[in-house]
Chain A
Amino acid sequence: MSRRVAGVVALVISAPLVLVATFLPLYEQRWEFTYGHTMTVVQTGWEVTSDSGDGDGLFGREALYGMPMVVAALLLVLGAVRAGAMWGRLVAACGAMLLLGSAWTVGHFVLATYLLEQPGGGLVITTDFGLALAVLGLASVLAVGGALMVQDWPSRVPGTEAPLVYRVEGDDDDTPPFGIPLPVEPGTGSSGAASPGHAPPDSTGSPTAEPGGKAGT
């Protein structure tokens, strides 16, 4: 599996996880009054509900925290589908970072709710983290990882298309493996300092000497 395919798979997995996480509870609060009455407040990515009062309860209201998360999930899907294009990869990165910022802020809000000071006056509030935080964290990691994997990263190693040239430092005067060809003097067959242009055309066909006339070190 190539890196880009793995990134697309991560993006495709993270998007539905985000959608599911918006419907899971971010936190559950239990309010206990001294006179025995209790109330439970649950918040998801879309609303706050409580089990007291009518309908959604005394604290029931809309809380559309999931809206930016859903938009981020849509961007992740679009980026996964169009990962082959440059704009698709940028959309995937935007979606992942949008999800990260949104989940990060929601995490701060839930953490603040968890660390809420006890108001006193006969009221005790106990807060538990919901499953949505874990799912959102997993989805964020998958989204950021997937968005990074689908990108075109520049290669760190230069390509090997051009011939490799190794430069030998210092004196490079070793004898070649087959010696140095010497010119053969016409008529004698012995090596000498004759010019290659004076070699007879029918002696060897080449102004260079036979292997016996090579000089080697």
Chain B
Amino acid sequence: MTSIIFLQWMIALSYLLAAGLLVTCNRWPRMEVVAIGLASLGLLLHIAMVLVRGLDSGQIPIVTRYEDFTVDALSMASVWLLVQWRWPQLRSAGILVLPLAAFVVVAALTYSLGVFPMSPALRTNWLVIHASLNSLAVGFATLTLAVGLQRKRGSMHLVGLLMSWTFLFWCAMVAAGSYWASIAWGRFWGWDPIECWSLGTIFIYAFVLHLRMRPRWREGYRSALVGVLPFGLMMFTTYGLVFVMRSVHGQYLFQ
């Protein structure tokens, strides 16, 4: 238990240090490589920790709130690392993404590290697909927010693309969850609070993506402003909703 807490802090520290080094890149450009190396090291530790957790618990480690936070942080860091490889101009977004990932890794420790066995009806591969797509959407949404808030010339046109991928993963997550529900509970859609708010998040993302077709909403402070709205809604749906409303997802996400 203590080693996991130590490892989790080490991962957070490596992400924070990498973000700190990225800040100094304007002055010392070579620090960029060190920052990426450090973030990659943190990511490797992170992946190893999640794998060990999965082997220990005998199920995909994305069920409890602790596991959800840990895997979402993993997704944030890995999405940034992959995307900055394709578009180096997005590297500086790590200044926001990596501290957020570090915060989420540490925040995970505030929840129980115990294992919550899922009921047999829920233990299908759709759990893996549904939960992974959710984490991917959170990873892309965080990067989109970071790029949007930085408002750097030469990367603003990528906000729309990243947001589109976020939208796609989120919609696919809802579809996978819906299909899973049809198998496990006998209905595609039950108007559960999390289902309703997920649908609301889809509508808001679709609205913002359409709004971005107008040039004046594509750049400048307006773009950053409308980028925050769907992200905030997604965060509330994923993390906040089970605290204020009873949901079938709360059975395991509260653990």
Is this pair of chains taken from one and the same complex? Answer: no
* Residues of A participating in the B interface, judged by any CB pair closer than 8 Å: none
